[in-house]
Amino acid sequence: MALEIERKFLLKNDSWKEDHSGTIYRQGYIGGQKGVTVRVRIAGDHGFLTIKGPTEGIGRLEFEYQIPTRDADEMLSKLCQESIIEKTRYKIGFAQKTWEIDIFHGVNQGLILAEIELDHEDQQFEKPPWLGQEVTGDKRYFNSYLARHPYSTW
């Protein structure tokens, strides 16, 4: 069983973005039962199918499988609901941790989020100087929510 424990933050500036290159992501959601999300994603040249369980605290079950990119592209165009999430993801190292910073495009343009994956809910970590307000518990910042309620409509 895989458990995803992550915390999400807004950013207060872009001082993290020196000479880092990012990966383009496209992802969408296929209908699921309440609290369960089924995500199709293309990250660079790789396709993935991910199933996530309901959030409990800041953790949830997560199962991710690589699938052929051609299949992922067809699922995105024919099976996914609402809008497709488009973003560029940067992986930034800070204090022996990897931060994922997502710059959203399209209908979510203007939103930038940083997240960190942890080993347990109480794990301590050093916060980078560019980190802003924590939004971990705010469901509006879940990608599955953004697909149904784009940032541009808030």
Q: Which domains does the chain have, with CATH numbers?
A: 3-153 (2.40.320.10)
pLDDT attached to residue 1: 55
The pTM of this model reads: 0.88
Please give the Cα distance from 88 to 100 (Å, whole number): 10
Rounded alpha-carbon distances, angstroms, from residue 136 to 58, 79, 153 = 7, 28, 20
pLDDT by 10s per residue, the chain, length 154 = 588 899 999 999 888 887 778 999 999 999 767 789 899 999 999 999 999 998 888 899 999 999 999 999 999 999 997 789 999 999 999 999 999 999 999 999 999 999 999 999 999 999 999 999 999 999 999 999 999 999 999 9
The residue type at 6: E
Rounded to the nearest 5 percent, the helix, strand and coil shares of the chain are 15, 45, 35
Active site members: 29
